[in-house]
Amino acid sequence: MNDSKMRRLPAEWEEQDGVLLAWPHGESDWAPCLELVEPVFSALVREISREELVLVVGPDRERLEGTLSRSGGELDRVRIHQLPTNDTWARDFGPITVEDAGTPLLLDFGFNGWGLKFAADHDNRISRRLHEAGFFGETRLETKGLILEGGSLESDGRGTLLTTAECLLNPNRNPQFTRSDLEGALGREFGIDRFLWLEHGYLAGDDTDSHVDTLARLCPDDTIMYQGCPDSVDEHYAELGLMRRELEAFRSREGAPYRLLELPWPRARYDAGGERLPATYANFLVINNCVLVPTYDDPNDEAALVMVATAFPGRRVKGINCLPLILQHGSLHCVTMQIPKGVLPS
């Protein structure tokens, strides 16, 4: 059953049943800016529900229903489940779906709040609780002891994984594992036989220890889209330049260089205390027929949308203002987890 040749980790751009979201609430870190951030989640529900189902969890179903009824989305494509939650980062606590002998299988990895930085007792149980409630129909779920977040992984659907050493090899996740150990474990769980390790790249204000989905993303046709920084006086210039050189050295399964697309650099943003916030255009979400791209009321927003459209021809590209999201040090992809085709009951 765990034979890696039987398993495949789909690419995000493959067909989906839906997307999982966890709604912000007043008992979370979002309390001081709830009125700012809820419209971002409403916009996400509105856009995703045009294409597929939206699964929404939160501790107050009645309030959620009232908010979503005003969102303008396709409410017949929204499913709500009341659950206690710590926060909203579904990418990192949501289930990761693989194909196991051609059948969808949900993998529920441990989530420890990015190395015990934040409380995660409720969020770590969301996938199991949704499965117990029948949200995933007859799809099986396996709970794993490995600490692993979805934002740390990029798959091309053909056995290649792009990730960062800073996150996966951080001793605050799985200190007992060497790089070789992790490659073996991820190979078994995901059917991965090629690993592209980034040793460089970070964003100031990022709590995740350099999740790859903030830095570089695998795209169709052996393309990698990555966050650039052309400003030589910016603190990110050297590290993101080193990351670019690593990407230039990577080779596809066929031995050719990847087609590299550099995303423009949004201007620096800071919170009220003067801490820099991790604004990045790389944190986009691919859904059926569309790509949702974070924007930041920035002069480079439009150029970012054009670049994403270059990587995903034929898909609608829609910007979502994510300035409120980065107040809690994440962006659009971080608050979503796609559910591939065949998982959800019809």
Q: What are the extents of the domains in the chain? A: 4-340
**Cα 74 to chain centroid, rounded:** 23
Q: What's the pLDDT at 75?
A: 86
Tell me the CATH class for 4-340.
Answer: alpha beta
Rounded to two decimals, the pTM is 0.97
Q: What's the pLDDT at 25?
A: 96
Q: What's the pLDDT at 2?
A: 42
Tens digit of pLDDT at every position of the chain (346 positions): 345 568 999 999 999 999 999 999 999 999 999 999 999 999 999 999 999 999 999 999 999 999 998 878 788 999 999 999 999 999 999 999 999 999 999 999 999 999 999 999 999 999 999 999 999 999 999 999 999 999 999 999 999 999 999 999 999 999 999 999 999 999 999 999 999 999 999 999 999 999 999 999 999 999 999 999 999 999 999 999 999 999 999 999 999 999 999 999 999 999 999 999 999 999 999 999 999 999 999 999 999 999 999 999 999 999 999 999 999 999 999 999 999 999 999 7
Alpha helices (H) in the chain, listed in sequence order: 34-48, 61-69, 90-93, 113-116, 126-132, 165-168, 179-190, 237-249, 301-311, 323-326
Q: What's the pLDDT at 3?
A: 52
The backbone region for 317, taken as left when phi is positive above 0, alpha when psi lies in -120 to 50, beta otherwise, is beta
In terms of Cα–Cα distance, which of 249, 250, 259 is closest to 222? 259
Q: What's the pLDDT at 102?
A: 94
- Cβ count within 10 A of residue 186: 20
